[in-house]
Structure 1
Amino acid sequence: MESLRERKKEATRRALHRAAIRLTLDHGLDNVTVEAIADAADVSRRTFSNYFAAKEDALLYGDAERMQSLLRAFESRPPTERSWPALRNSLHALMEEVGEPDPEWAAQARLARAHPSVLARQLARWAEFERTLSSLIAERDGLPPGGPRARILAGAFMTSLRIASLAWIDQHPRRPLAVVAEEHLDEMARSFE
């Protein structure tokens, strides 16, 4: 159970994230300031700085939370389950829990593609997540830490998710993200030889 203090902190993070997305969609990233985001979330500039280093971080908070949820789901999988099935089952469980992403998520992804500063932060976070995932995979499968198998498995999974997300954002009519992700993970699991 989280304490009341932790729940309030999380509510503030989410309010700042929602304000950042709303303002950026309405006015464009270049026309949004940290002060405007703080005002829209009804907090001070200093409070904003306690939670995020920059407006790009506030924009990407939802993405970071989904990645952390995925890590927790992976860690909670049965220890006898090999990593690739555990990764896929973790994603499936997360998609069932959170449901189909809302339009805000797609808009956030489009923002990342359109603005180098957001894309750079997003890619850095995904790389950090991939390193963490690689360590968890090595531990789960009894592989050498930092070895190629764990790193390749983590990279293949993350690449599949990234490409699936881009395909989902660009498709019309839109199909469920879970279906698109499964198709991409199936393709990644096929042999290249």
Structure 2
Amino acid sequence: MGMTGRRERRKLATRTAVREAALRLALRHGVENVTVEQIAAEADIALRTFFNYFPGKEEALVAAAAAGAEALIAEFRARPATESVLGALREAVLAVADRGDATGRDYVRALQLVRRSPSLVPHQLAVLAAQERALAEAVAERVGPGTAGGIYPALCAATALTALRVVMDRWLERATDPEQPPPVDVLREDVDQAIAVLAGGLDRP
């Protein structure tokens, strides 16, 4: 791999370090008590470098949720073509929530932080909008050519992500330790229930 590849890897590593530092400090001290200067110091970078990656601390904080969302869509794309759209989404959600790596762990921690910090909600909504577009594209690829731009992929992505937000919120509500999410088995039950409801349709007599 050439210079460009190395440079891209370095940039990604720096972005990850800043994101992780921001999350670590905010979980420890609260969003309102953390400054950009502290995040830069924690990540061992110059303040100027911080602003090369993020316009402010809120964007750095929700970046962990964005990375988790990207991982979710990557997992969805990797599911076998034999699985239904909702079946593939179920497996992708549980795979990310159950991941022992930094991305999976920080995704859940970022969601916990957003629940406790109203100032992060508008930034989280921007992440969700981007996630929705990316998932709609992935759904269109899965269900076949000619569906891109149609209502099904867009509606499916929006509905599924709203269901996921409800389920994750219910799951995190049950946390007894703010630093530690509840067991994934609890999440699995709610995910299964949400998928069954969506698969059955929302209409009621």
TM over 0.5: yes
Q: CA 1:84–1:10 in structure 2 vs 1: closer, same or farther (change >3 Å)?
A: same
Structure 1, 67-76 or 143-152: larger mean CA deviation: 143-152
The answer for unaligned runs of 5 or more in structure 2 is none
Residues 57-114 of structure 1: per-residue CA shift (max 9 Å, x gap): 2112221111111111222223343322221222233344437965x65553343134
What is the identity percentage for the equivalent residue pairs of Structure 1 and Structure 2? 38
**Matched positions, count:** 192
**Superposition pairs for residues 177-188 of structure 1, below 5 Å?**
177=184, 179-188=186-195
Q: CA 1:114–1:94 in structure 2 vs 1: closer, same or farther (change >3 Å)?
A: closer
Deviation at 1:186, TM superposition (A): 2.6
Aligned partner of residue 60 in structure 1, secondary structure: helix
What CA distance in whole angstroms lies between the structure 1 residues aligned with 2:182 and 2:28?
A: 26
| Counterpart contact for 2:164–2:191, Cα < 8 Å | yes
The residue number in structure 1 matching 2:151 is 148
The residue number in structure 1 matching 2:174 is 171
The residue number in structure 2 matching 1:60 is 62
What CA distance in whole angstroms lies between the structure 1 residues aligned with 2:45 and 2:6?
A: 18
Aligned partner of residue 81 in structure 2, secondary structure: coil
Structure 1, 120-129 or 139-148: larger mean CA deviation: 139-148
Structure 1, 18-27 or 54-63: larger mean CA deviation: 18-27
The residue number in structure 1 matching 2:83 is 81
What CA distance in whole angstroms lies between the structure 2 residues aligned with 1:150 and 1:178?
A: 29
Residues 19-61 of structure 1: per-residue CA shift (max 9 Å, x gap): 2123223433223221221112110111111221211121122
Q: TM-score, normalised by structure 1?
A: 0.82
Q: CA 1:178–1:94 in structure 2 vs 1: closer, same or farther (change >3 Å)?
A: farther
* 1:161 is the counterpart of 2:168: no
The residue number in structure 2 matching 1:189 is 196
